[in-house]
Amino acid sequence: EVQLVESGGGLVQPGRSLRLSCAASGFTFDDYAMHWVRQAPGKGLEWVSGISWNSGSIGYADSVKGRFTISRDNAKNSLYLQMNSLRAEDTALYYCAKDGWGPICSSTSCYPYYFDYWGQGTLVTVSS
């Protein structure tokens, strides 16, 4: 059974940093690209960042470019999102999602194909 378990969310002041983690199990982690998708309270879905199987291709939404860094550790079956210079508009539930296509991203910007499995999310609240 595929499982994605996010952690690391919490309440943080504007301008501070937070690191999210996603522990994956039930599939061969390094056979797939992985992504972070967020959902602000009461709003829709927003793709945040993606990474190919070997970290050779990485991409970010314009809204987080230069502030967030995605990474993965295939030996630990884990995905990470380092979030710096956090803003109030970053407040959201952050989901880890597995790319259903395979190891590569759909473009040089590492946009996703589709998401066949999602974690339950970790809530990030940016407020003073």
Partner 1 sequence: EIVLTQSPGTLSLSPGERATLSCRASQSVSSSYLAWYQQKPGQAPRLLIYGASSRATGIPDRFSGSGSGTDFTLTISRLEPEDFAVYYCQQYGSSAFGQGTKVEIK
SS (H, E, C) 92-126: EEEEEEEECCCCCCCCCCCCCCCEEEECCCEEEEE
Nearest to 89 by CA among 62, 115, 114: 62
| Residue 45 CB, nearest approach to partner 1 (Å) | 5
CB proximity list for 69: less than 8 A, separation 6 or greater:
81, 82, 84
Decide whether 14 or 40 has the Cβ nearer to partner 1: 40
Nearest to 67 by CA among 116, 11, 18, 118: 18
Q: How far apart are CA 5 and CA 96, in angstroms?
A: 8
| Residue 107 CB, nearest approach to partner 1 (Å) | 6
Chain positions contacting partner 1, by CB under 8 A: 44-47, 61, 95, 100-101, 106-107, 111-121
Decide whether 61 or 74 has the Cβ nearer to partner 1: 61
Decide whether 47 or 67 has the Cβ nearer to partner 1: 47
Decide whether 30 or 46 has the Cβ nearer to partner 1: 46
| Residue 118 CB, nearest approach to partner 1 (Å) | 4
| Residue 126 CB, nearest approach to partner 1 (Å) | 21
